[in-house]
Each structure stands twice: as C-alpha cells, then as structure tokens.
Structure 1
Amino acid sequence: MRLPEDLERKHVISELRREGIFPGGDGPLPVPASPAEIRPDVGELCPPGFSAHPVSPFPGHGVLHTDGNAAEPPPERPAWEVADIFRLHGEEHRERHTLTPRQRKVMSDIENCRTGEFGFHAEVCGECGHTEISYNSCHNRHCPKCQGIAKRRWVNARVGQLLPIPYYHVVFTLPNMIFPLCHYNQALIYDLLITCAAETLKAFGKDPKWLGAEIGFYGILHTWGQTLCTHLHIHFVVTGGGLNEHGEWVSPKCGGKFLFPVCALSKVFREKFVGGLKKAYYDGELTVPDERAELRKPEGFEKWLNSLVARRWVVYAKAPFAGPEEVVRYIGRYTHRVAISSHRIISVENGQVTFSYKDYKDGGRKREMTLTADEFIRRFLLHVLPSGFHRIRHYGILANGRAAKNTEMIREMLRSEDGTGDGTPAPEPGDEFTKTCPVCGGGKMICVLIVHPYYRISRTHLLPPHLTGGEAYEDTS
C-alpha cells in the first residue's frame, strides 16, 4: 500500500515549516549549516504511533537533539578527527596547492560528514519504539567515519563464502623507486599492480608443480604506510587449494605448510609488472613528470627500468590462518580502511598535527610523528583513489558471479571425503541491523526515515505493526 496522503512530501515540508524548522517561501530549501537550524518533530514525518515513543539523539558524531542542543560525545569518540584538521586548515591548503576536483570533493565530504549538510535520518527500535535521530554520513570511501557499515556488509558477504579449508595471506609490494610515477599515473600503476599480482597467483595455482588447480582469492589494495607516505602493496586472502580441470578439489602440497614459494612469486611478479610498465611507456600511456624528464628518452627510461629490476621486490606470505573465524577477523581489519584512523590523531595545535604510528623497522614499536597541518593534508590526499577505481577485487573460484555456486559445490565435495569438511563450519553472517536498542537492550534499531539534502524525504524499512496501530506501511512509490 502507498503511504497515506498526509505523509506526502508537500505536507511534510509544510508541517516542518509550520513548526519553524525551515523558512517559508516557494524557493529551494537550504541545507542546514548547524544543528541549531533543525528542530525536527519526528511525529510530523512518520506514520501514526511513531511520535508516541520517546525520542533521543543518536549517541555518536553529528548528533541531533529534538531541542536543538549539542550532545555529549560518547566515551569512544576520538579527541580529534581528520574532519577537524580539514575544517581548521583545509581552506589554507586549498589556496596554497592545486588540487584535483576529486581531492576537493573528498575534503568537502569529510568536512561536512554528519554535520547536517547531508540531511538526517530516524531509527526506531523494533521492540520498544525508542527513536533516535542522526545526521547522515557522506558515504565517501575515503572518510574515516563512513567505513564501518560498508566493511560489515562486505565481511558478511565473505563469511557466507568461507570454506572449511586453510587460507593464506599473501602481500605483494612495489619498490619505492616507482612511487614518483604513481602520483601521475594512479589508475595505470594501481591496476597494473593488482592485475600482475593476481595473474602471478593464478599461474602458480595452475602449475602442477605447486597445485595444478584454479584457486580462489580476493585482493585489497593499500597505497599508504603508517606515516601516510606512499607504500603501494596489495593484500590477498587465498584459498588453500582449488578445483582442477576435472572439477575435483586439490589440497596444497607440502602438508599445507606453505602454498607457493615467495622467492619464485617475487620473480614472476617482477617480470609481469616490469613488462606491463614497459608496454605502457612505449604505447604512450605512461605520464612522465617534469622532475623526471630524463625518462622521456627511451635510453633514460631503459636505464631507470634496469635499476628498478635490480631493486628488492617483496612478496610476503604468512602461515595459514587458524580457521574461518581468524579469516573474518583479518578481513575485518584490512578492508575499507582509509589512510589514517582518527583514533591515531593525538593533537592538533599551533598548525601542527601529532599522530601515532607503528615502526615496523623496530618490531612494530609505537611511536609519534608531528607534521605541519599542510603536510598532513597533503599526505592524506595522496591516497585519494581515481574515480570508479575498484580497490577490492575477487578472482578464480571466488570471482563475482561464481563464488556462491563454487563454494556450495566445494562444501558438498569436502563433506563427501572421509573426515574432511567435518570441522568448524563457516561463521554465520551478521544481522543487517547491527545496532541494539540502548533503552530496552533487546530490540534492533531500524532506519525508517531519511531526509536527504534539500529535504527530499524517503522511507526505508517497515515499522512493526505493534508500533503503527496494527498496520504496517511501505513506500511503494
């Protein structure tokens, strides 16, 4: 059924204006600049029964109180955020440096995330009807505050594909000699890194000497190191085994102690990457910056390429994961990360930013680094990905469109083998509604209303009948 007529957008806006929330007139509705400019009455926006329940602000960033007051920050909120640095020093950075439109958008989105610029939404407990209102997130994949939900959804999808087999963690890293070219050829070099590393793994999987089967894996590109400098590497989670040409499961050799030899992986990866880079150069696809003008001559490029080949090409492989649960914990740590978490920022004062980092040259010891705010922002923006670039990719038997069918077939295959596949089952995917009601402690908070920028209103999930006077509703428009 459609929403009742009195819940249509025109009525909602008029009711909001009647309450003094928005200015009158027929012109476009402005985006609020501060919490004090919005005092939404959720009862005017939602179906009968909704407003009868207590309303409180969401206990997080960018909170909306129905009385317009600011909320106390939760205990876990970091003292400083990347957004604070952008708000304090971003304008000066934009004036001093030439930024791409993409970098400017990332800065703007992070600055305005959960401030009211992107509207707000209401959540209702499915049990007791407790209501909370929050500002909308920017949903930019570079924003430190917006990756939690995306990460959980991606991890949940991977959990459903986990098999009762060992998994391996393999990391391919580019030499730092290539980094100056990266800033002018992001999409080309990032894609070359991912593609060459993936082709290397597939080739070793199909080689009868090592496995003789099609493996499955997914890769996660990271472009940064702990100090925000460029550090190009890709993490792979690889199945311990694969399907041969007869559709039979093949387990790793050498008792599963290792999947493939890292030295051999490194040599093949280097050959593939250098070959791809050379082809891009002679095809005119590689941009050479003015500071490396000597590379524009073929003899200069070949000399540089020989030096690149002589560098150390690091491929790192860890021991197999202990089980599916450890795989889930791992991918939860590495997926949907951004260059730096706000929790690592220690202080922002006198135009300087101090943050913590792990010194892996000293056994992962925790240290502190202080940069000017301008340099901090510059380093952060180095890691803005090209538009439409996919930093997480799936291959082999875990490729998109094949994973569900393959994993189910392999599970049945392993169950039929003596003693194999009877171990720990794959963990169950988590509930889509991950937030528990802070009042009753038993219900799940359901997002039922979203007010977008310029107050375009939409509704999401059904409210339970016991909260709406016995009749559920749904927006079918």
Structure 2
Amino acid sequence: MSFKGIKNKLLRFKSVFVTHWISFTIKHPRYNKPYYHSEIKKMMDCGSEALGFATFQCLSCGKGEHTVNFSCKGKACPQCGKRYSRESMEKIASRLLPGVNYRQVVLTLPCEFRNIFYNHPQQGALYSELMSVGHACLEALIQDLLLCNTLKIASIVFIHTHGRNGSYNPHLHILLGEGGLNPETNQWLPISYLPLGRLRLKWQAHLLHFMAARIGDLNGIIKALWVKHPDGFYAHPGNGKKVPTKHYRGLLKYLIKYLASPPIGVSRISCVSDGYVSYYYQSHKSKQREYERVEAEVFIGRMVQHILPKGFQRIRYYGLQATASFKKWYEIIAMAVGDLVDGMISYVSRLKYCDFFREVAGRNPLVCTFCGDDMELIRLYHPDRGVFYDIFAP
C-alpha cells in the first residue's frame, strides 16, 4: 500500500475518535479519565507538528529538505505500534537461548472470567499474576514429564487482551523453550512433545486455584467450571521450531503485533459512515475473512479497552529467561547443549528513523533527491520548549 493510501486510512481511523470520543466517554465514565484522554490525544496528534518535529536539509545544494514529525509512542496509536513491534522483535531475539528449540503455547481464560478481569479494580496486578501463573503451569508440566521437580524452564510470556475481531478476550501466548535445565547437574533435558490433555488439565488446575485464592469462589463459578470442563480449559501446546536463527522473525512478529497498537489495524477498516465502522478480520473458527459493521462507539470501546495500565509490561521473562540471571544461564546452556556461539545476538536499542523508513518504503528519506548527498539536522522544535536547536540562529 502506498503512503498516500496508508495516510488516508489512518485519517479515517482517527475521524471515528474526532466525532465520537466525547460522547463515548460520557456513556462510559470508566474511560472519562485523564489517562485515557491523554492517550487518545497523543494518538490524534501523532505524526503532526503538535508533538514537535526535526527538520533536515541538504547543505550541499540547499534544495532538499525533509521534516520528521515526532511520534507519540502511545498505547492507542496504530502508527507507533509498528515501530514498537519491530524493536521488541529484535530485543526478544537477543534473549533466546543458544541451541534451544522454542514453541508457542497458548493458554486461554474461560468466558466466565472475562468480566471479572475487565472490571477488576486492580486489573494490572491481576494480569501480572496471570502471566506468572502461566509460567508456573508450564514449569510444573515439564517437571512432571521429565521427572525432575527442580527443573528450571525458559519462558517469555505475552498477554493479549482481545480476539481477532477486537472483542475482550484475555489470553496468554508463551514462547517456551523445549526442555529444562537441572540446576544441580547443569544438564539440559530436552523435550519435543507436550501432551494436549495433560496441558489442558494442568492449566485448569493452576488457573482455578489462582482465581479461588485471589478472588474467591465467585458464587460457585469456580466449582461449576470444574464440572463444566472435565477435559480442562482450552490450550494449544504449539509446535517446536528452531528459533535462535533467521527463522524467529515470523513467530515473534505474530506474537508482538497486537501488543502496542489497536487490535484492528487501519488497513482492515473498509468503511466509516453514518455513525458505523465496517472492518474485517481473519476468523479462527472459520479460517476465513469475516466482516463486522458496528456502531462507532462500539468500535471505540473495542479499541480502548485494550489500553492497559500505565507502565504495565506486556512481555515478561521467567525462569531461565529472567533478566537478573539470564546471562548466567545463557552460558551454562550453551555449554550443556554443545552449541557454543560468539556471544548473544546483538540488540539495537532503538532503530534509526531513516533505517525504519527504508524498511517500510524502500528508500532513505534523508538523502537529497536533487544531488544525492546526505541531509543534515538543522532545526529541532518541541511544543513545550519551542525551537531549541537551529544551526542558522544567530
């Protein structure tokens, strides 16, 4: 899609909020708070001069000029989500263990728990504990399968709060190392198969015990869920895949793409008219493209309900992946699996604007189209500070 096409779709997405955001917050006071207003305003101003800008100019010929409007880095912004996903993918890739196969495991919540999570006054804390329970479940399962109750596993947990049509459906995607390390012998014990039946029952037990301890029996809901699901809760054990190579990108891109941007991308919106929004999504059930037409305020609700609490980390590292001890385990596992490598995969903390632009558009915007020389930064503007850098200022 051309930049013009992307811009038009982005404007159409923002027009829904321009017209209906205020009326939406009046009808739904839980979102009529400074935090949500701030996130929506950042999204509306993203890519405009309102957030500040940098100007580059070709000093060789004086003709070429390019202005970069600063991004908002907001949780509701479909523009900033692309860059966040790209950088997160590189960061996670640098944290994968050498010689270890990874698989994607999915753990879901029964529908009876969705309203409890959605309306909980400490939603962020509940999400955090859920992610930890997901790791504990898989560690207990692998310990049982490998007959070693001291085994440590490697897991990176992602929380997704929506289904493909944008409706509220919190669930976990876990990038799981296939096996575990016996810390007493420093021996890596591989595993290539997770039995679905045992996974489902193990997840049910861990989740229901957690909810009972955290929330209570909820008028008999937990007791009823034991009976209603004799085979356990829905889960997917995933398929093993050699990830610490060039093959990791597709899997990581899938896991990350919905973490920072709205669940319905601007390219999927087909029509905005008469107070309604039409869009499509790829259905899990039918395996086909399906279409929905909803009121604009319903659409806004589906977008903003996934704005998680300020500072909440949607990606967490557990066990052998834990930040505090990762380097230590990395070196031990490299020796244990016999896959010595030249250090960890490098991680570039932030992709340069010109490099990211080149990935998307196939050209460097900071090269003068008139003479081919590199442009130079000549001016910086911030809305709170005004012009604070200008090479031509006296």
Q: Which structure 2 segments of 5+ residues have no match?
A: 359-363
Residues 1:116 and 2:49 aligned together: yes
2:196 counterpart residue number: 262
Q: Give the whole-Å Cα distance in 1 for the aligned partners of 2:315 and 2:203.
A: 19
**Any idea what SS the aligned residue of 1:117 has?**
helix
Could you say if the C-alpha distance between residues 272 and 243 of structure 1 is closer, same or farther in structure 2, counting changes exceeding 3 Å?
same
**Any idea what SS the aligned residue of 2:44 has?**
helix
The partner residue of 2:385 within 423, 437, 455 is 455
| Deviation per residue, 1:411-460 (Å, 9 max, x gap) | 3443xx3xx568x998665683224424479999997864322235667x
Deviation at 1:75, TM superposition (A): 4.5
Q: Give the whole-Å Cα distance in 2 for the aligned partners of 1:86 and 1:440.
A: 37
Instruction: Write the mapping of 1:96-115 to structure 2, written as runs, cut at 5 A.
Output: 96-98=27-29, 99-101=31-33, 102-115=35-48
The partner residue of 1:332 within 249, 253, 261 is 253
Contact 1:205–1:214, Cα closer than 8 Å, also in 2: no
Could you say if the C-alpha distance between residues 305 and 150 of structure 1 is closer, same or farther in structure 2, counting changes exceeding 3 Å?
same
Contact 1:204–1:210, Cα closer than 8 Å, also in 2: no
TM-score norm. by structure 2 comes to 0.80
The partner residue of 1:341 within 242, 256, 265 is 265
2:102 counterpart residue number: 167
**Any idea what SS the aligned residue of 2:146 has?**
coil
1:358 counterpart residue number: 282
Q: Give the whole-Å Cα distance in 2 for the aligned partners of 1:445 and 1:217.
A: 44
Residue type at the aligned position of 2:175: V
Instruction: Write the mapping of 1:149-188 to structure 2, written as runs, cut at 5 A.
Output: 149-162=83-96, 163-185=98-120, 186-188=123-125
Instruction: Write the mapping of 1:130-279 to structure 2, written as runs, cut at 5 A.
Output: 131-162=65-96, 163-185=98-120, 186-207=123-144, 209=146, 213-246=151-184, 248-253=186-191, 256=192, 258=193, 260-279=194-213
Q: Give the whole-Å Cα distance in 1 for the aligned partners of 2:325 and 2:32.
A: 37
Compare relative contact order (CA 8 Å, sep 6+) and give the higher one, 1 or 2.
2
Contact 2:188–2:336, Cα closer than 8 Å, also in 1: no
**Any idea what SS the aligned residue of 2:49 has?**
coil
Q: Give the whole-Å Cα distance in 2 for the aligned partners of 1:448 and 1:224.
A: 43
**Any idea what SS the aligned residue of 2:116 has?**
helix
Contact 1:217–1:395, Cα closer than 8 Å, also in 2: yes
**Any idea what SS the aligned residue of 1:264 has?**
helix
Instruction: Write the mapping of 1:304-343 to structure 2, written as runs, cut at 5 A.
Output: 304-309=221-226, 310-311=228-229, 313-323=233-243, 324-335=245-256, 337=258, 338=261, 339-343=263-267
Q: Give the whole-Å Cα distance in 2 for the aligned partners of 1:161 and 1:329.
A: 16
CA RMSD of aligned residues (A): 3.4
Residue type at the aligned position of 2:134: A
Contact 2:199–2:237, Cα closer than 8 Å, also in 1: no
Deviation at 1:176, TM superposition (A): 1.0
2:220 counterpart residue number: 303
Residue type at the aligned position of 1:452: H
Between Structure 1 and Structure 2, how many residues are aligned? 363
Residue type at the aligned position of 1:104: H
Contact 2:157–2:315, Cα closer than 8 Å, also in 1: yes
1:378 counterpart residue number: 301
Deviation at 1:263, TM superposition (A): 2.1
Residue type at the aligned position of 1:168: R
**Any idea what SS the aligned residue of 1:401 has?**
helix
Residue type at the aligned position of 1:243: L
Residue type at the aligned position of 2:146: K
Could you say if the C-alpha distance between residues 240 and 88 of structure 1 is closer, same or farther in structure 2, counting changes exceeding 3 Å?
same
Q: Give the whole-Å Cα distance in 2 for the aligned partners of 1:440 and 1:318.
A: 48
Residue type at the aligned position of 1:321: K
Residue type at the aligned position of 2:299: F
Could you say if the C-alpha distance between residues 273 and 87 of structure 1 is closer, same or farther in structure 2, counting changes exceeding 3 Å?
same
**Any idea what SS the aligned residue of 1:402 has?**
helix
The structure with more helix, counted as a fraction of residues = 2
Deviation at 1:91, TM superposition (A): 2.5
Residue type at the aligned position of 1:219: V
Contact 2:59–2:376, Cα closer than 8 Å, also in 1: yes
Contact 1:211–1:241, Cα closer than 8 Å, also in 2: no
Q: Give the whole-Å Cα distance in 2 for the aligned partners of 1:457 and 1:251.
A: 59
**Any idea what SS the aligned residue of 1:146 has?**
helix
Indicate the structure (1 or 2) with the bigger Cα radius of gyration.
1
1:94 counterpart residue number: 25
1:474 counterpart residue number: none
Instruction: Write the mapping of 1:416-427 to structure 2, written as runs, cut at 5 A.
Output: 417=338
Sequence identity, in percent? 21
Could you say if the C-alpha distance between residues 367 and 200 of structure 1 is closer, same or farther in structure 2, counting changes exceeding 3 Å?
same
